[in-house]
Protein backbone atom coordinates (compact mmCIF):
# COMPACT_ATOMS: atom_id res chain seq x y z
CA UNK A 1 0.00 0.00 0.00
CA UNK A 2 1.26 3.49 -0.82
CA UNK A 3 -0.41 6.26 1.10
CA UNK A 4 1.59 8.80 -0.89
CA UNK A 5 -0.22 7.68 -4.03
CA UNK A 6 -3.55 8.28 -2.34
CA UNK A 7 -2.46 11.73 -1.20
CA UNK A 8 -1.41 12.60 -4.74
CA UNK A 9 -4.70 11.30 -6.15
CA UNK A 10 -6.76 13.21 -3.60
CA UNK A 11 -5.07 16.42 -4.79
CA UNK A 12 -5.72 15.52 -8.42
CA UNK A 13 -9.43 14.99 -7.74
CA UNK A 14 -9.99 18.56 -6.59
CA UNK A 15 -7.61 20.40 -8.91
CA UNK A 16 -9.25 23.05 -11.11
CA UNK A 17 -6.63 23.92 -13.75
CA UNK A 18 -7.08 26.93 -15.99
CA UNK A 19 -7.76 25.84 -19.57
CA UNK A 20 -5.31 28.26 -21.15
CA UNK A 21 -2.53 27.34 -18.75
CA UNK A 22 -3.19 23.62 -19.13
CA UNK A 23 -3.11 23.88 -22.93
CA UNK A 24 0.13 25.88 -22.81
CA UNK A 25 1.71 23.24 -20.55
CA UNK A 26 0.56 20.48 -22.91
CA UNK A 27 1.97 22.32 -25.92
CA UNK A 28 5.27 22.58 -24.08
CA UNK A 29 5.46 18.90 -23.15
CA UNK A 30 3.28 15.84 -23.73
CA UNK A 31 3.28 13.79 -20.53
CA UNK A 32 0.69 11.80 -18.61
CA UNK A 33 0.25 14.68 -16.20
CA UNK A 34 -0.10 17.41 -18.84
CA UNK A 35 -2.71 15.35 -20.69
CA UNK A 36 -4.56 14.64 -17.44
CA UNK A 37 -4.52 18.30 -16.37
CA UNK A 38 -5.68 19.38 -19.83
CA UNK A 39 -8.55 16.91 -19.61
CA UNK A 40 -9.49 18.24 -16.18
CA UNK A 41 -9.33 21.81 -17.47
CA UNK A 42 -11.71 20.88 -20.29
CA UNK A 43 -14.09 19.30 -17.78
CA UNK A 44 -13.99 22.44 -15.64
CA UNK A 45 -14.81 24.45 -18.74
CA UNK A 46 -17.87 22.29 -19.37
CA UNK A 47 -16.31 20.43 -22.30
CA UNK A 48 -16.64 16.83 -21.16
CA UNK A 49 -16.74 15.32 -24.67
CA UNK A 50 -13.53 17.14 -25.58
CA UNK A 51 -12.01 15.88 -22.33
CA UNK A 52 -12.75 12.29 -23.37
CA UNK A 53 -10.99 12.97 -26.67
CA UNK A 54 -8.03 14.49 -24.83
CA UNK A 55 -7.65 11.51 -22.52
CA UNK A 56 -7.94 9.19 -25.52
CA UNK A 57 -5.22 11.07 -27.39
CA UNK A 58 -3.08 10.99 -24.27
CA UNK A 59 -3.53 7.21 -24.18
CA UNK A 60 -2.41 6.95 -27.81
CA UNK A 61 0.89 8.46 -26.68
CA UNK A 62 0.94 6.85 -23.21
CA UNK A 63 -0.98 3.53 -23.47
CA UNK A 64 0.15 2.36 -20.04
CA UNK A 65 -0.86 5.49 -18.08
CA UNK A 66 -3.44 4.49 -15.45
CA UNK A 67 -4.30 8.11 -14.60
CA UNK A 68 -5.54 8.69 -18.17
CA UNK A 69 -7.77 5.60 -18.13
CA UNK A 70 -9.05 6.85 -14.78
CA UNK A 71 -9.69 10.36 -16.10
CA UNK A 72 -11.55 9.07 -19.14
CA UNK A 73 -13.52 6.56 -17.11
CA UNK A 74 -14.89 9.31 -14.89
CA UNK A 75 -16.19 11.17 -17.93
CA UNK A 76 -18.21 8.12 -19.03
CA UNK A 77 -20.20 8.13 -15.78
CA UNK A 78 -22.25 11.28 -16.48
CA UNK A 79 -23.74 10.01 -19.77
CA UNK A 80 -24.33 6.63 -18.06
CA UNK A 81 -21.85 4.75 -20.24
CA UNK A 82 -21.14 2.50 -17.30
CA UNK A 83 -19.61 -0.41 -19.21
CA UNK A 84 -17.02 1.90 -20.77
CA UNK A 85 -16.29 3.50 -17.42
CA UNK A 86 -15.83 0.11 -15.74
CA UNK A 87 -13.54 -1.01 -18.57
CA UNK A 88 -11.32 2.07 -18.14
CA UNK A 89 -11.21 1.75 -14.35
CA UNK A 90 -10.32 -1.91 -14.75
CA UNK A 91 -7.36 -0.95 -16.95
CA UNK A 92 -6.24 1.62 -14.37
CA UNK A 93 -6.46 -1.04 -11.65
CA UNK A 94 -4.52 -3.59 -13.71
CA UNK A 95 -1.77 -1.02 -14.29
CA UNK A 96 -1.64 0.24 -10.69
CA UNK A 97 -3.74 -1.69 -8.14
CA UNK A 98 -2.39 0.33 -5.20
CA UNK A 99 -4.46 3.49 -5.83
CA UNK A 100 -7.68 3.30 -3.90
CA UNK A 101 -9.48 5.84 -6.11
CA UNK A 102 -9.32 3.44 -9.04
CA UNK A 103 -11.08 0.74 -7.01
CA UNK A 104 -13.43 3.30 -5.50
CA UNK A 105 -14.64 4.71 -8.82
CA UNK A 106 -15.11 1.25 -10.33
CA UNK A 107 -17.09 0.33 -7.23
CA UNK A 108 -19.25 3.44 -7.50
CA UNK A 109 -19.88 2.77 -11.20
CA UNK A 110 -20.87 -0.81 -10.42
CA UNK A 111 -23.31 0.56 -7.86
CA UNK A 112 -24.75 3.04 -10.37
CA UNK A 113 -25.18 0.19 -12.84
CA UNK A 114 -27.05 -1.86 -10.24
CA UNK A 115 -24.19 -4.34 -9.77
CA UNK A 116 -24.38 -4.10 -5.99
CA UNK A 117 -22.44 -7.25 -5.07
CA UNK A 118 -19.60 -6.29 -7.42
CA UNK A 119 -19.69 -2.79 -5.94
CA UNK A 120 -19.32 -4.09 -2.37
CA UNK A 121 -16.42 -6.30 -3.46
CA UNK A 122 -14.63 -3.36 -5.07
CA UNK A 123 -15.26 -1.09 -2.08
CA UNK A 124 -13.70 -3.79 0.09
CA UNK A 125 -10.64 -3.85 -2.16
CA UNK A 126 -10.44 -0.06 -1.98
CA UNK A 127 -10.50 -0.33 1.79
CA UNK A 128 -7.33 -2.41 1.69
CA UNK A 129 -5.54 0.63 0.19
CA UNK A 130 -6.60 3.07 2.92
CA UNK A 131 -6.17 4.02 6.54
CA UNK A 132 -9.28 4.18 8.77
CA UNK A 133 -9.66 7.97 8.52
CA UNK A 134 -10.05 7.64 4.73
CA UNK A 135 -12.86 5.08 4.88
CA UNK A 136 -16.01 7.10 5.55
CA UNK A 137 -16.89 7.20 1.86
CA UNK A 138 -16.27 3.48 1.49
CA UNK A 139 -18.38 2.57 4.53
CA UNK A 140 -21.14 4.89 3.30
CA UNK A 141 -21.25 3.28 -0.15
CA UNK A 142 -21.18 -0.27 1.24
CA UNK A 143 -24.01 0.69 3.60
CA UNK A 144 -25.96 2.23 0.70
CA UNK A 145 -25.39 -0.83 -1.49
CA UNK A 146 -26.78 -3.12 1.21
CA UNK A 147 -29.78 -0.81 1.73
CA UNK A 148 -30.44 -0.90 -2.01
CA UNK A 149 -30.23 -4.71 -1.89
CA UNK A 150 -32.76 -4.64 0.97
CA UNK A 151 -30.31 -6.23 3.42
CA UNK A 152 -30.71 -3.87 6.38
CA UNK A 153 -28.95 -6.26 8.77
CA UNK A 154 -25.70 -6.16 6.79
CA UNK A 155 -26.13 -2.41 6.30
CA UNK A 156 -26.32 -1.90 10.07
CA UNK A 157 -23.35 -4.17 10.71
CA UNK A 158 -21.03 -2.32 8.34
CA UNK A 159 -21.44 0.87 10.41
CA UNK A 160 -19.55 -0.82 13.24
CA UNK A 161 -16.44 -1.02 11.06
CA UNK A 162 -15.48 2.64 11.50
CA UNK A 163 -15.13 5.00 14.44
CA UNK A 164 -17.57 7.82 15.01
CA UNK A 165 -15.21 10.80 14.87
CA UNK A 166 -11.98 10.15 12.97
CA UNK A 167 -10.28 13.22 11.42
CA UNK A 168 -11.47 12.67 7.84
CA UNK A 169 -9.95 14.40 4.78
CA UNK A 170 -11.99 17.49 3.85
CA UNK A 171 -13.07 15.84 0.61
CA UNK A 172 -14.88 13.20 2.74
CA UNK A 173 -16.87 15.68 4.88
CA UNK A 174 -20.27 14.70 3.50
CA UNK A 175 -19.62 10.98 3.78
CA UNK A 176 -18.52 11.22 7.40
CA UNK A 177 -21.62 13.22 8.26
CA UNK A 178 -23.81 10.69 6.47
CA UNK A 179 -22.24 7.78 8.39
CA UNK A 180 -22.89 9.62 11.65
CA UNK A 181 -26.51 10.12 10.57
CA UNK A 182 -26.94 6.40 9.85
CA UNK A 183 -25.50 5.63 13.27
CA UNK A 184 -28.08 7.87 14.93
CA UNK A 185 -25.52 10.44 16.07
CA UNK A 186 -27.09 13.33 14.13
CA UNK A 187 -30.75 14.27 14.14
CA UNK A 188 -32.17 14.08 10.56
CA UNK A 189 -34.00 17.40 10.97
CA UNK A 190 -30.67 19.17 11.57
CA UNK A 191 -28.58 17.07 9.19
CA UNK A 192 -28.11 19.57 6.34
CA UNK A 193 -26.41 22.34 8.31
CA UNK A 194 -25.22 25.12 6.00
CA UNK A 195 -23.04 26.79 8.63
CA UNK A 196 -21.34 23.47 9.41
CA UNK A 197 -20.75 22.85 5.70
CA UNK A 198 -19.10 26.29 5.39
CA UNK A 199 -16.61 25.32 8.11
CA UNK A 200 -15.44 22.32 6.07
CA UNK A 201 -15.92 23.64 2.54
CA UNK A 202 -13.24 22.95 -0.08
CA UNK A 203 -12.49 26.08 -2.16
CA UNK A 204 -13.91 24.64 -5.35
CA UNK A 205 -16.49 25.98 -7.81
CA UNK A 206 -20.08 25.09 -6.75
CA UNK A 207 -18.77 23.01 -3.84
CA UNK A 208 -21.66 24.05 -1.56
CA UNK A 209 -24.17 22.75 -4.11
CA UNK A 210 -22.23 19.48 -4.35
CA UNK A 211 -22.11 19.03 -0.57
CA UNK A 212 -25.85 19.70 -0.19
CA UNK A 213 -26.61 17.21 -2.98
CA UNK A 214 -24.41 14.61 -1.29
CA UNK A 215 -26.02 15.16 2.10
CA UNK A 216 -29.58 15.09 0.78
CA UNK A 217 -29.02 11.80 -0.98
CA UNK A 218 -27.61 10.39 2.25
CA UNK A 219 -30.72 11.61 4.03
CA UNK A 220 -32.84 9.78 1.44
CA UNK A 221 -30.86 6.57 2.08
CA UNK A 222 -31.37 7.06 5.82
CA UNK A 223 -35.14 7.27 5.44
CA UNK A 224 -35.17 4.15 3.24
CA UNK A 225 -33.10 2.39 5.92
CA UNK A 226 -35.63 3.47 8.54
CA UNK A 227 -38.59 2.41 6.39
CA UNK A 228 -40.02 5.94 6.08
CA UNK A 229 -41.05 6.11 2.42
CA UNK A 230 -42.90 9.41 2.75
CA UNK A 231 -39.83 11.24 4.08
CA UNK A 232 -37.65 9.45 1.52
CA UNK A 233 -39.82 10.76 -1.32
CA UNK A 234 -39.89 14.25 0.18
CA UNK A 235 -36.08 14.27 0.42
CA UNK A 236 -35.65 13.11 -3.18
CA UNK A 237 -37.86 15.90 -4.47
CA UNK A 238 -35.99 18.45 -2.34
CA UNK A 239 -32.66 17.24 -3.76
CA UNK A 240 -33.91 17.44 -7.35
CA UNK A 241 -34.88 21.11 -6.99
CA UNK A 242 -31.23 22.12 -7.37
CA UNK A 243 -28.93 19.10 -7.83
CA UNK A 244 -25.23 19.39 -8.58
CA UNK A 245 -24.93 18.17 -12.21
CA UNK A 246 -23.09 14.89 -12.51
CA UNK A 247 -22.81 14.27 -8.76
CA UNK A 248 -23.29 10.63 -7.77
CA UNK A 249 -26.12 11.68 -5.48
CA UNK A 250 -27.80 13.53 -8.32
CA UNK A 251 -27.49 10.60 -10.75
CA UNK A 252 -28.86 8.17 -8.18
CA UNK A 253 -31.62 10.53 -7.04
CA UNK A 254 -32.93 10.97 -10.58
CA UNK A 255 -33.10 7.21 -11.09
CA UNK A 256 -34.68 6.63 -7.68
CA UNK A 257 -37.28 9.33 -8.30
CA UNK A 258 -38.22 7.77 -11.65
CA UNK A 259 -38.36 4.28 -10.15
CA UNK A 260 -40.64 5.59 -7.38
CA UNK A 261 -42.90 7.39 -9.86
CA UNK A 262 -42.08 10.85 -8.51
CA UNK A 263 -40.93 12.32 -11.83
- For the stretch 187-200, pLDDT in tens is 999 999 999 999 99
Residue 9's pLDDT band (cuts 50, 70, 90): confident
- In this structure, which long-range contacts are made by residues 104-107, counting pairs with CB atoms below 8 Å and at least 24 apart in sequence? 104/137, 104/138, 105/70, 105/73, 105/74, 105/77, 106/73, 107/141
Which pLDDT value is given to residue 16?
Answer: 81
Give the pLDDT confidence score for residue 140 in this predicted structure: 98
On the question of pLDDT at 8 being above 60, the answer is yes
User: CA separation (Å) from 239 to 108, 213, 215, 250?
Assistant: 20, 6, 9, 8
Q: Where residue 137 falls among pLDDT bands split at 50, 70, 90?
A: very high
| Per-residue pLDDT reduced to its tens digit, 29-88 | 999 999 999 999 999 999 999 999 999 999 999 999 999 999 999 999 999 999 999 999
Amino acid sequence: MSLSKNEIMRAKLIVTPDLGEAKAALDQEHTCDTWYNYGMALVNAGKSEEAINAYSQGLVENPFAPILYFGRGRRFIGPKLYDRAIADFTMAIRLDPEVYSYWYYRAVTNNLAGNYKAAVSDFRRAMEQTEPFERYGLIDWIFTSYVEMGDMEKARAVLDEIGDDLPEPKIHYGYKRRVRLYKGLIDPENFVDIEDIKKHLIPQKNRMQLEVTTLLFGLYVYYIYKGNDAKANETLLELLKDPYPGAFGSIKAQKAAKDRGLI
